[in-house]
Amino acid sequence: MKAAVLREVKKPLTIEDVRIDNPKSREVLIRTAAVGVCHSDLHYIEGLYSTPMPIVLGHESAGVVEKVGSEVRYVKPGDHVITCLSVFCGHCEFCATGRPFVCESPETGRRKEEPPRIEQRGRAMPQFFHLSSFAEQMLVHEHALVKIRDDMPLDRAALIGCAVTTGFGAVINTARVEVGSTVAIIGCGGVGLSAINGAAIAGAGRIIAIDIKGSKLNLARHFGATDVVNASEIDPVAAVKDMTGGGVHYSFEALGLKATAEQAFRMLRTSGTATVIGMVPEGQTIEVDAADLLNDKKLQGSNMGSNRFRVDMPRYVNFYLEGKLKLDDMISRRIKLDRINEAFDEMKRGEVARSVIVFDP
């Protein structure tokens, strides 16, 4: 199969032939239909997070089941599915206490003595977050996917695999935004727009979108923002405090930057909660004023929207088909796999909300 391979940090991905195995007992072989180009992948390309190489990246995907292992009962060939990097075992401490999104995944990969899921010229290739979606096919554990309705368009379903689950989930599951509350979201890419959409569906009274691109702020209004702040023109913290009379109840950082994570905390009102959604690079620290902690202000992280993806994702599908979740407008462009490096270049320039790679059926 064709796949986009990362061989060296800060170098373009290369389109290569790799071999994928047949499914074993609890594995599922998926024909990839669509995969979103996510900023998290870019972090690994730029070396901000470490990974063994060569590796097939990609994790925000949807497709159609081609084959299943002998013990799989959840899906069958022909089923439409969304993948999720929050693969769960079902019985570790975290799964057993209702936190499958931080599962230790002790049994969801192949053992060292087993043949690899992906290889090239006889050499095993590591699997990116148990998925490796920048490829024509994926071989995954059955607990890395969720079955969805056949009438859901798969290019839009792919966005639910990460951007929506991460942004929407951070609002609903992690922060538990209350009806009528004030919310600020920093960063209006795919994750930030999903957080805005989630805050609107949750009934937030005021939703302030913050970005440096006017085009993204215009899009944010369509997703539910009541106010926008262009951070290239004014201090976003001062602007939010002025607009809300002292700060917001909830803030969300969706860029993965130290400076904006600290801004998210500083724009809170007393007893407010800041949630960092973006992947701040490894090794960096986030600094807060200790006196703010005495005012009951909270800074927290969110792992993939604190999801229970087998429950959450079908609900997001229903929200889309009911016209509540605005996935059509999140897709800036649809491309083929061989144009993947263009998509990352556009992402670095801040020009797109989401590019989606689509494969021929």
Spatial contact of 292 and 246, defined as CB atoms under 8 Å apart:
no
| Nearest in space to 248 (alpha carbons), one of 260, 236, 259 | 236
The verdict on whether 95 is a catalytic residue reads: no
Check if 59 is active-site: yes
Q: Is 169 exposed, middle or buried (0-12, 13-18, 19+ CB in 10 A)?
A: buried
> Which residue among 38, 95, 103, 188 is the active-site one?
38
- CA–CA separation, 45 and 337 (whole Å): 16
Q: Spot the catalytic one: 59, 130, 141, 249.
A: 59
132 backbone φψ class: left, alpha, beta (φ>0; ψ -120 to 50): left
Both tokens of residue 294? 């005495």
Work out whether strand 123-125 and strand 2-6 pair parallel, antiparallel, or are unpaired: unpaired
Active-site residue, 43 included: yes
Query: Cβ neighbours of residue 52 under 8 Å, at least 6 residues apart?
Result: 126
Distance CA 221, CA 184 (A): 13
Please, are residues 268 and 261 in contact by the beta-carbon 8 Å criterion? no
Give dist(CA 193, CA 164) in Å, integer. 8
Cα–Cα distance for residue pair 229/235, rounded to 1 Å: 9
The question of whether 162 is a catalytic residue gets the answer yes
CB contact at 8 A, 199 and 167: no
The first and second tokens of residue 322, run together, are 């009911």
Quick check: is 40 catalytic?
Answer: yes
Of these residues, 39, 43, 80, 249, which one is catalytic?
A: 43
Catalytic residue among 84, 95, 103, 162: 162
Contact call for residues 239 and 212 (beta carbons, < 8 A): no
Distance between CA 60 and CA 343 in Å, rounded?
A: 14
Candidate list 40, 61, 181, 355, residue with the active-site label: 40
3-state secondary structure (DSSP) of residue 57: coil
Which tokens hold the place of 5? 């391979």
Yes or no: say if 194 and 217 are a contact pair by the CB < 8 Å rule.
Answer: no
As annotated, the active-site residues are 38, 40, 43, 59, 162
